[in-house]
Chains A and B, each alone.
Chain A
């Protein structure tokens, strides 16, 4: 699960790059960049959740 989250994060980065290349309008570009960041935060949340699932192992 941690790896899944970490793999989602670069996807958000590529969304941000796509926003730079595809849109000249600052509004659309900003919205796409925000979406890319949201995807990255979701990926990080999934990775943290993966760490939480191992919480039992950490409690020793």
Chain B
């Protein structure tokens, strides 16, 4: 892994300014990329991080680009207007693919991006039909898709179990290094004039109704800063932060469990997912297999990190071995967990609140894939006042309650 994207400690611990235009709370990929895009627009920005940058979901996820329609989106579909909503979402996925493909050049640094392509396999006839249905939407949205079955699948992916019925293949899928992305954005944000401050937990959040341009009073472990606009990019802790303003957001934290193996000879090109079961599998550049897909980790009270769960390891690896049988004798070396934010409808929550002007939310489910794009769109709307964000991302949607003022 190339070194060089890290901010020096002296920068990260510099004194806070007394006031700024925008305060971003949260030093994950969402917050760091937003700081970068805002700074590009010339907007005065201070990013506050409770601990260290990139320490939570942004740095602990597996770094996959999920552009195909995923299991959880299909699950959510049944109660909604399926096709229209999915089309909007997948168009954004295609746009996110575009953003990621340009990012190393734009940020002038390594992100270890590998466009390996991604397979999503089907075991049953129903699953295969589901692949065919979703493929139509994905192609319409502009993804580069293919359906592989029988001999064609065998030739393309000889490592897959022979009895799998088919797989959809998305050429744009792949992965980046999650330990590089947020820190590189933070570095470039600082280059462009943003202030990035770690170990600055927000201890108090208040609105001064007469405050004018400094109406948000943000008290932190590192001092107080006033801002005219506030962005909540606190990920799994977004609801708690909003709670300090009396806002109730329908955001919950879920711990996810991941497994990684010893390194082996490189056999797996594309990422492998399953349309009907919880599996994301890929082989990293170092040769290790990373196995996840939405298995739970056990919540622990801070500062302890969420525990990994043996049953998650056992269940997750069983599906992996079912799909890629050569994994049988590969050894699991480690498990780890990350805490991710989910809205109740699994839709992102991005934009400005109509009820609390100046309050913004930046929370993308499937956060690693979508955060840079969401941050770019939010920065554009904050700079220009015009939003291109889908209405389904509304910050004030069901579950929120007005703040008492």
**Do chains A and B stick together as partners?**
no
Residues of B within 8 A of A (CB): none
Residue ranges of A at the interface with B (Cβ–Cβ < 8 Å):
none
